[in-house]
Structure formats: C-alpha cells, structure tokens
Structure 1
Amino acid sequence: MYLSTRGQVDRLTAAQAIAQGIAPDGGLFVPEAIPFVDEPFIVRLQSLSYQERAAAILQLFLTDYTEDELKSCVAGAYGGGKFSSPAVAPVVKVSDRTFALELWHGPTSAFKDMALQLLPRLLSCALKKIGEQAQIVILVATSGDTGKAALEGFMDVEQTQVMVFYPEEGVSQIQRLQMVTQEGENLKVFAVKGNFDDAQTGVKRIFSDNAFNAELANGGFKLSSANSINWGRLVPQIVYYFSAYADLVRNQQITQGDKVNFVVPTGNFGNILAGYYAKQMGLPINKLICASNSNNVLTDFLTTGVYSRNRQFYKTYSPSMDILISSNLERLLYQVTNQDSKQVNQWMEELNTTGEYRIGDEYLAAIKEVFPAGWVDDVQTATTIGRVHKEFGYALDPHTAVAWQVAETYRQQTGDTTMNIIVSTASPFKFNQTVLNALVGAERVNDKSEFAVLKQLSQIIDRPVPPALTELEHKAVRHTTICGKQDMPMVVKAALKSK
C-alpha cells in the first residue's frame, strides 16, 4: 500500500497511486514498507533477461498487479526492438575499477526511456483496475529528456492527454527538436519563458489548485504526472541497479556480495533515489555518489544539511541537471526521518515560504553515510569529456562527464577503491555540440548546423548516430506555443477545450 510523504492521504493501492501521480496534499506517494530481498533472489537475477528481472522486482512493489499484467507491461516497454542493445541497460567496462551503466539505448537516447516506456503501460492497466472513466491529463515539466521520453511513451495511448512544458532557453537543440516535432493526436508541447524550476513549480501549482481540478473534473478530465514524482516513473528505475549488479557478477567482474558504488548525475533526485531504494532492499551498494553541475544545491544540502534554492541559477552544458528544487528529495527525507510526515511537511512548507530548510545533525549524519556528493563546472565537464575519450576511447555526454569527474575526485579524496559504476544517462549525440567542441575544440567544428555536427561527432567517436536523431532533420515542427509560467493553467484549459 502507498502513503503520502505529507501524511494527509488514506492508504492507496499501487494502481491508485500511479493513476493519481501526486498526492492531493502535495506530497509524493511512497510504499508503506520497502520490500527486502535475500541473496538467493539477487543470485537468481543473473540468469534472467532484463525483462524478467524487471518483472521480478516490480512484483515486489506493485502487488495489486497480476504477474501476467506485469509481464505484458514489461514486454511492451523493453521488447520489440525498441532498445538498440539486447541487454537494454548494458554495463560497459571503461577503465580499471570503473564501469558505465548505459541507460540511453532506448528510442529517445536518454535514460528517461527506462521508465517512460513502462509508465504508460502501468497507467493504462491501473485505469482499468480502478474503473477510471475520465480522460487522464498528464502534465510534464521537463529539463529536456523527460519531455521527449513521455511524448514517445504516451503517443496515442488511449484515455490520455499529455502536455509537456519545457524551459524555452534551457534545453539542447536536439532536445528541443525531439519535442517540437513530436507526432501524436493526444500530445501538446509548450515552451515556458523561464527555467525548469519555473515549469516544475507551475505544474505543481496546477496539481494543488482545487478549483482548477474541480473544473477539469466537470469536463471529464483528471490530472496525473509522468515526472518522477509519479511512483510509476520511479519504480522502474530500481530495476537497472539490480540488473547492473547481476551483470557484473555474471561476467565475473565482482563476486556476489561485493559492494559497489554507483555515481549518479543528479538533478531532480529521482535516479539516485531509485538506487537508495535498491540499497534498502538489500542490494550490496556501498555509496551512492551524488554528482551535480554548477547548480549545486544538492551538493550543499548533502554536505551541510541546509537546502536553499535562494541562489543563482546557471545554464550549463548539462541542462537536465539545471534544477534548484529537487522534488524527489522529499521521499528520502521521509525515509531518514522514519516516515515522520509531520516533519517532512514542515520542511516543505519552509521551502515554499522562505526558499530553504535545515535538517538536524542526526538526519544529516545518516544521509552523509550513504550519499557523498560533489560538483563540477562546465570547464571541468568539457575537460573530462576530452580526457576520457583520449585515454579510454569512450565518449561521455556532459551529464555522464559530471559523474565521471565527481567519481575521480571522490576516489582521490577518500582512497575508496570500491568498484565505481557511472550511471550514464544520455547518448553523447544528444549533446553533440558540447561533446564535439570538447573533443576537437570549437574552432575545428566544420559546420555549425546541428546535423552536420552529428555526422562529424559520429566519425570522431566511431559510433553511428541513432536513427531517431538523424530523422529529426526532415521532420516538421508541430508545436510552437510559448507561454509565461503564470499562463500555464490557461494553456492547459485551452488545449483541452480544443479536444
């Protein structure tokens, strides 16, 4: 069963929680208890496909779904040639004691596919289970990758309308093109004047506006979310931590029971939180190393216990991490306070009213035990991309480069020789200009056009450009609306009236 982190909602089934997305009290749905797995369970995963591993882990959390329902959802998400690697999420050795967990072999070349190919299927199943008749309106705030992955996953899914809001100047050119050319009768995309936090705050306000929600209900619509605030988006991400560990044991890179570190480029705290749940379940994880860019609000929090969004916002080479309000941190606070929803509520209220909150030394010590943290700026990011390719012949996207450099700094500072698994969140082709500039220098980029850059990068790193990215060159732009953050409710209403 599922509860809200803010404690003012009755217990719900997994299907009910996934259908709602965000709790009515503004909190996030969390499992009442985290299932624990024993070593034989982890050992059994070694001989299974990714799809079978996913079904086994999802069954522990989504107990109101039948085994057949979950197997069907998983087959639809990860089968049918949607992922360019048969392993779905392969683990690649890059250097001694460092591996990359590649999460970008899906249709949009970013890790969000790992969850957003599955969420639409879990949601459709949930709607049938609970007998929901309303059209589900899915609002998405994106810093770049979630938007396209949600559009791809929900395209023409029955009983859903999807509206994606992205910061007008805050995504890469490829990310923007992926969204504004998206086909699908049930999809809308809007640029927001502002940054990602403006878009995310606007979406959250719509969710918590009771009058607005009542008006939608009268028209036969209900809101839900495809952001990682939705439990159905987060739970699939737990799978690839187990899968990576099983692959390393199976390939004799580690011995069953050995601990590993995962290094995660982090913005909204969902990806790394999935690793925390895996650790709580019994996966032998030593540290979850939190890597940030110049928007280092998480690094500051994880080292000082003070969370403050009252700071300068930077546009960086790693835009999916350009975030000052990390929504999923609320779920971690709920866990480390032993499910003290009253305390969590107080901190979230302080964040809303003053822009910051402070946790006590006891809670901070518990967090620091698991989550070392560091950050790097754009200069270090570019240098790391160039150096890793030169030394190891491996191309990093900017987000993965942030994680790589933070991992190296952590190892130098602590002497920790535990195996590092860098969670690689995007194909280098999604951030082609930044990666190419880092590899050859801006002055040696032959042609500044987006698709010429893709071709040049392909030649240098000796990898083919994902077909879905090359196809963008000839796709028509379908979504051109730009709105202010204050206009988002009006835009949603207008889009629904046109249906």
Structure 2
Amino acid sequence: MQYLSTRGHPERRRFCEILLEGLAPDGGLYLPEHYPKIDAAQLAKWRGLSYAELAFEVLSLYIDDIPAADLKAICAKTYTEEVFGTPDIVPLRELEDGVYIEALSNGPTLAFKDMAMQLLGNLFEYELGRRGEQLNILGATSGDTGSAAEYAMRGKKGVRVFMTSPDGRMSPFQQAQMFSLQDENIHNIAVAGVFDDCQDIVKAVSNDLAFKRKYKIGTVNSINWARLLAQVVYYFAGYFQATATNDKPVSFTVPSGNFGNVCAGHVARMMGLPIRTLVVATNENDVLDEFFRTGVYRVRSAADTHETSSPSMDISKASNFERFIFDLVGRDAAKSRGLFEGELGRTGQFDLSSDPVFAKAASEFGFASSRSTHADRLATIRDTDKRFATLIDTHTADGLKAAREHLVPGVPMIVLETALPIKFAETIVEALGHEPDRPARFQGIEELPKRVVKLPADVEAVKAYIAKHCD
C-alpha cells in the first residue's frame, strides 16, 4: 500500500514513512491510493474478534512495511483491559430505542483520543527503535489530543513532545492533565490565541522542510494518517455490537471540530462497512454544519471563534476536511489544491454549492450535520441524567442532540462518546448542581505543580523553543 498527497505531490510513500512525516511535502494530507474493500464474508470473519485482533485485521490492510507478527504484537500490547479498564475496550450500550452510545473514553486520559494515541506511541517507539532515530513531535490541542499524546509518549525512547494549546481556553481539568506532567521529554506550550493559531503553527513548521528535517519534526494531530487509521477500528467494533447480521446498516453521530474522528467513519464507509449516515455534530463553531447545509466552507477568524462549554470543538479550521473534499471532488488533486491553497487562501472560504459534487456529500458519501448550543447541551445532559440515569459530557451531549434529529426507524444510531464528564465539571455542575464522579487517580490534579511555558502565537517563537530544547 502506498500513500499520496491530497495536493498532488508526485512522490508516493509507504506507511512507516508517513508515520514519522505528518504532512506531505506540498502541504497536503496523506491518503491511501485506494481504500481496501470489505465484503460480507470478511465482515463475518471479523465478527467476534477481540478488539486487538480486529485492530490488526484493519491495520494490516494499510500497513505492509511492518512484519505481520510485529504489527499483531503492537496491537495486542496496545488494546488491553489493563490500559482501557474493560476487555471490550469500546463497550456499546443502548440508551433508548435505537440509540446507542459507544464508550471511547476508558483510556488513561478519559477521552477518545487515547484510542489512537496509545497505538501511535507504540508504533513510534517500534519504528524509531528499528531505525535507531529520534523524533520530535509537534502537536496542537484544543483539549484532549494533548493529554492523550503526552500520556502515550511519556517516557518513550527516542521521542520528545512539544504540545501547543490555546492559553486559558481548555477546562481546568484538561489543563491539569497536561501541565502536571513532569517528564523531561514532554514540553507544554500555551499559545496566546485560539486553537486555530496553534494548528497554523504546527502546519507552518511542518511546511518548513529544512527545519522539519533538521529537527526531525513529526505530528500526532489527526493530520497524521496513522492516528486516523487507528480510529477506523472502533467503527467496525461499534457496528458489530449494534447488529446481529452483516447486511444491516447503522448510522453514526460524531461530535466534530477538526473532522478527524468523523473522517475515520468516512474511511470505514468507503471500505464497505454498512453505514447509512454519518452525522457531523458541531457546537456554536459551526463551520462544518454550514458546509453540509449550504456547500460553503467558511473559515472564521480567531475573534469569531466562540469559546464554548464543549471546548474541544472550538475550531474554525477543520484540518482533516481536506481529506474528505479530495474524495468528494473525485480525487482530483489539482481541484483540491485549488480550493485549499487558492480560494481558501485568498478569501478564507470556498463555495461548492453550485458544483454538482456537493450533492454527493449526502447522496453518495452519506453525510448530514447538526448544530448544538450551550442551552441545548445543558438540556441534553439534564434529560439524559433524569430519564436514563446516565451522565454524559458536553461534547457527547452535542452528539446525542444531533443524533435524535437524524433517526431513521429500523436503523441503529451510534453516538460516539468523546470524553468522561469530569473533564468538563463546571458545565455538569451548571446542568445538574453537582460534580461528576472523579477517578481516584485524578483526585487533586488541579493543585499539582505545573510545567508549561507561555509563548505568543508566532511560528518563529515556537521554532526557537524547539531548537533550544533539541540542541
């Protein structure tokens, strides 16, 4: 399997090359040359596998430069009851008739990002050890990516992490999870700006090829194909738990800001998993909802990016969206490049409303969308707690509200849980009048010493910090 750039760079890469590389040299994102197709017979063979076994089967379709025995061992090491607290890894529960919640937040940092980051940490350590090299990971987080990456990479041989985050725009619990880590290979950088500023810095550094090569810069954001690939697995796992046969379609609703989580669902659907609808649930930062309703992708400025009670989705530039648009326009790299480098660069938006391809987003690719507000969030949390004695976090509440707007009789709707409620305790208190349960290992985390540096939203300042701590 080889990988190509969404912007048409002529050189193809193998998996382990893009694992360490992140963005393509032309600023595009990597995708496989084709999506492997899964038929009903193969689905039947996968039904009943453990999560680690299922992960190996999915990943091996895309990874042919790691020996099968080694890849199987990496999956077995990653997806264990010890790490995720349950042998099911991603247990599914029916909340109400036809509506399910897939628990993705049983990992070390209580967020769905652990599902991919734990694998990424083991893949990085394996490949760097095989090469005898080191890697400096540069990332951007609006909340959960940072802690998941840092917990996965702490103490890993040959790896340093430089994680940028928007100063003051994460929940106190999220900040404490990251900033309390004292490991020497972990560096937290609080940027004076919003998440999109952090993301822009990561892309700018990745596009500086001389700096990237000198300091061996890699990424763990969902621009890294390996991370997105790991997320494909739990769509299959959720499907198997919600259905008894391989010909029954399901739908998924995915809280989404950067489009990575739902893009993994798009990949699973392209592979042949019977997904009827992929519902993109946004908060007040509704760039994605606006596109799927109107065909206009309009990036917002930092000043127009709202600070909300589902902060991990406070994003107005959805990096992974380029992967879907590439598929939507028929894998026409010139057209994709023209949209993201040309129109978006010049005007801050592009408009596909009058292009025949836009209709395919729903008709051929199965996408729909909805928007949620703070008031919706509180109402959904209260209702779910009262009627089902189930406490959900703010992002999952956005997802559940959207899911109920897109139900089809006879089609199971699976809502992807994104985090445990304790990560957003302030809003839970506002909704219910009491704090959510806190795992014992996180008691008093907000009072621990912090290890973080504050920098301006400036590419050169971040590059200077990285250089200083790598030399």
The answer to whether the 8 A contact 1:9-1:23 is kept is no
Residue 47 of structure 2: SS of its match in structure 1? helix
- Listed as ranges, the matches of 1:440-451 within 5 Å are 440=433, 445=434
Matched, 1:79 2:80: yes
Cα separation, 2, equivalents of 1:74 and 1:493: 36
1:467–1:41 distance in 2 versus 1, CA, 3 Å: farther
Q: Which residue of 2 aligns with 1:346?
A: 338
Counterpart of 1:237 (choices 231, 234, 246) is 231
Report the alpha carbon displacement of residue 417 of structure 1 after superposing the two structures with TM. 4.7
Which 4+ stretches in 1 moved above 6 angstroms?
Answer: none
The answer to whether the 8 A contact 2:102-2:238 is kept is yes
- Cα deviation code 1:59-118 (max 9, x no counterpart): 011122221121121122222601112211111111111110110000000000000000
The answer to whether the 8 A contact 1:292-1:298 is kept is yes
Cα separation, 2, equivalents of 1:48 and 1:310: 44
Cα separation, 2, equivalents of 1:366 and 1:468: 47
Counterpart of 1:319 (choices 305, 311, 317) is 311
Deviates most, 68-77 or 398-407:
68-77
Cα separation, 2, equivalents of 1:354 and 1:212: 29
Q: Which residue of 1 aligns with 2:403?
A: 407
TM-score norm. by structure 1 comes to 0.89
Report the alpha carbon displacement of residue 474 of structure 1 after superposing the two structures with TM. 5.4
- Listed as ranges, the matches of 1:116-155 within 5 Å are 116-128=117-129, 131=131, 133=133, 135-155=134-154
Matched, 1:470 2:470: no
TM-score norm. by structure 2 comes to 0.95
Matched, 1:482 2:463: no
Cα separation, 1, equivalents of 2:149 and 2:440: 19
Cα separation, 2, equivalents of 1:470 and 1:42: 42
- Listed as ranges, the matches of 1:55-204 within 5 Å are 55-79=56-80, 81-128=82-129, 131=131, 133=133, 135-204=134-203
Letter in 2 for 1:136: L
Cα separation, 2, equivalents of 1:498 and 1:422: 41
Residue 410 of structure 1: SS of its match in structure 2? coil
The answer to whether the 8 A contact 1:50-1:88 is kept is yes
The answer to whether the 8 A contact 1:9-1:24 is kept is no
Report the alpha carbon displacement of residue 478 of structure 1 after superposing the two structures with TM. 2.1
Letter in 2 for 1:374: S
Cα separation, 2, equivalents of 1:68 and 1:468: 34
Cα separation, 2, equivalents of 1:259 and 1:430: 33
Q: Which structure 2 segments of 5+ residues have no match?
A: none
Q: Which residue of 2 aligns with 1:337?
A: 329
- Cα deviation code 1:156-213 (max 9, x no counterpart): 2112111000111211110000010013221100111111001101111111124533
Counterpart of 2:373 (choices 377, 380, 386) is 377
Report the alpha carbon displacement of residue 497 of structure 1 after superposing the two structures with TM. 2.4
The answer to whether the 8 A contact 2:455-2:461 is kept is no
Report the alpha carbon displacement of residue 472 of structure 1 after superposing the two structures with TM. 1.5
The answer to whether the 8 A contact 2:128-2:135 is kept is no
- Listed as ranges, the matches of 1:425-464 within 5 Å are 425-440=418-433, 445=434, 453=435, 457-458=436-437
- Cα deviation code 1:43-68 (max 9, x no counterpart): 22222111111011100111222211
- Cα deviation code 1:309-349 (max 9, x no counterpart): 14621111101111000011111111122211111101111
1:468–1:353 distance in 2 versus 1, CA, 3 Å: farther
Residue 47 of structure 1: SS of its match in structure 2? coil
Cα separation, 2, equivalents of 1:358 and 1:105: 40
Cα separation, 2, equivalents of 1:208 and 1:393: 48
Cα separation, 2, equivalents of 1:310 and 1:107: 33
Report the alpha carbon displacement of residue 490 of structure 1 after superposing the two structures with TM. 2.7
Aligned residue-pair number = 463
Matched, 1:222 2:216: yes
Counterpart of 1:255 (choices 245, 249, 254) is 245
Letter in 1 for 2:54: R
Cα separation, 1, equivalents of 2:332 and 2:121: 31
1:75–1:437 distance in 2 versus 1, CA, 3 Å: same
Matched, 1:295 2:267: no
The answer to whether the 8 A contact 2:172-2:446 is kept is no
1:473–1:191 distance in 2 versus 1, CA, 3 Å: closer
Counterpart of 1:269 (choices 255, 259, 271) is 259
Cα separation, 1, equivalents of 2:188 and 2:455: 11
Cα separation, 2, equivalents of 1:344 and 1:127: 33
The answer to whether the 8 A contact 1:162-1:186 is kept is yes
Cα separation, 1, equivalents of 2:447 and 2:432: 27
1:142–1:161 distance in 2 versus 1, CA, 3 Å: same
The answer to whether the 8 A contact 1:15-1:127 is kept is no
Q: Which residue of 1 aligns with 2:273?
A: 283
Cα separation, 1, equivalents of 2:305 and 2:409: 32
Matched, 1:308 2:292: no
Cα separation, 2, equivalents of 1:292 and 1:494: 34
1:297–1:69 distance in 2 versus 1, CA, 3 Å: same
Cα separation, 1, equivalents of 2:12 and 2:31: 10
- Cα deviation code 1:427-472 (max 9, x no counterpart): 11111121222123xxxx5xxxxxxx4xxx22xxxxxx22342252
Q: Which residue of 2 aligns with 1:358?
A: 351
Report the alpha carbon displacement of residue 128 of structure 1 after superposing the two structures with TM. 4.9
Cα separation, 1, equivalents of 2:116 and 2:9: 27
The answer to whether the 8 A contact 1:303-1:368 is kept is no
Cα separation, 2, equivalents of 1:235 and 1:101: 18
Letter in 2 for 1:429: I
Residue 94 of structure 1: SS of its match in structure 2? strand
Counterpart of 1:491 (choices 456, 459, 462) is 462
1:493–1:270 distance in 2 versus 1, CA, 3 Å: same
The answer to whether the 8 A contact 1:260-1:419 is kept is yes
Cα separation, 1, equivalents of 2:224 and 2:104: 20
1:380–1:338 distance in 2 versus 1, CA, 3 Å: same
Letter in 2 for 1:247: Q
Letter in 2 for 1:331: R
The answer to whether the 8 A contact 1:107-1:468 is kept is no
1:470–1:44 distance in 2 versus 1, CA, 3 Å: farther
1:323–1:52 distance in 2 versus 1, CA, 3 Å: same
Letter in 2 for 1:265: P
Letter in 2 for 1:281: M
